[in-house]
Amino acid sequence: MAFIREKTTRLNGRTYRYYSLVENRREGKKVRQRVIRYLGRFESKEDALIAAGMKPAYLNRLDDLDHNRRVGLQWEHEAEVELRALKHEITYGIHERVQKAQDEIFREGHALWDAGIPWGECERAVERSEAAAQRETLKWIRSHDVEYDELLSKRAQGHNTAWFALSQAMKLYGRLTKEEQARARNIPIVAEGLAEREIAARKSSL
């Protein structure tokens, strides 16, 4: 496995750091280092890692958190879209069912009246039909409860995943050195967290 090797030299009272990309190789009973690529002089090991195409661990961690946040936000968005569609379907379905039941009950009442059934019996028959229609509509609404609850759970899970990733990213950012923070600001999750902090600070100062 390749890694970065650092060598320091002092010249005229100044320290210079030179880095190489190396790997360990076993030759018999001995382990020797083989230089894969000479990287040159850098101010820090992080700069050398980036030059070698090897991100420092904290940048990899922030990338992972950024990915988790984007996944969480996607879950939340998808669930919200599906919830709106389901609400529309239920609302339209209720209206359609109520209208259809009213038409059928109206026709049934008139048919009974036209058949010479006394008005009191017609009223009771209509009331029974209305109660049956209400039970069927309620049953139809409840048939969507599981799907609705699953979408609510998905939305909450997405929101919590995104929020947790952002909070962890900003905690990690707070532990970095100023040089590391300057590199980390290019990662979207850090930029977003800093923007939210600035907005919160402005609101609190009003």
Across all residues in the chain, what is the average pLDDT?
86
Tell me what the mean pLDDT of segment 39-48 comes to: 78
List the Cα angle 49/50/52 in 5-degree steps: 65
Report the distance separating Cα 11 and Cα 9, nearest Å: 7
Highest mean predicted confidence (pLDDT) among 39-53, 96-110, 154-168: 154-168
User: Dihedrals φ, ψ of 44, to 5°?
Assistant: -150, 165
Ordered strands of the 2-11 beta sheet: 2-11, 14-27, 30-41
* C-alpha span between 198 and 194 (Å, rounded): 6
* pLDDT, greater one: 7 or 73: 73
Q: Tell me whether strands 30-41 and 14-27 are parallel, antiparallel or unpaired.
A: antiparallel
Q: Tell me the mean pLDDT in the region 94-123.
A: 82
Give CA angle at 192 (190, 198), nearest 5°: 105
SS3 of 23, please?
strand
What mean pLDDT comes out for the span 23-33? 81
Residue 93 has pLDDT above 90, yes or no: no
- From CA 140, how far away is CA 199, in angstroms rounded? 46
Mean pLDDT computed over 86-96 = 87
Distance between CA atoms of residues 163 and 187, nearest Å? 16
Largest Cα separation within the chain, whole Å, is 119
Both tokens of 193, joined, read: 């967290």
CA angle 143/144/146 to nearest 5° reads: 95
Hey, what amino acid is at 90? I
Backbone phi and psi for residue 116, each to the nearest 5 degrees, phi listed first: 90, 15
Task: State residue 1's pLDDT score.
Answer: 65
Residue 135 pLDDT > 70, yes or no?
Answer: yes
Residue 121 half-sphere exposure toward CB, CA atoms < 13 A: 8
Token code pair at residue 76: 């939340």
Please, which pLDDT band fits residue 109 given cuts at 50, 70 and 90?
Answer: confident
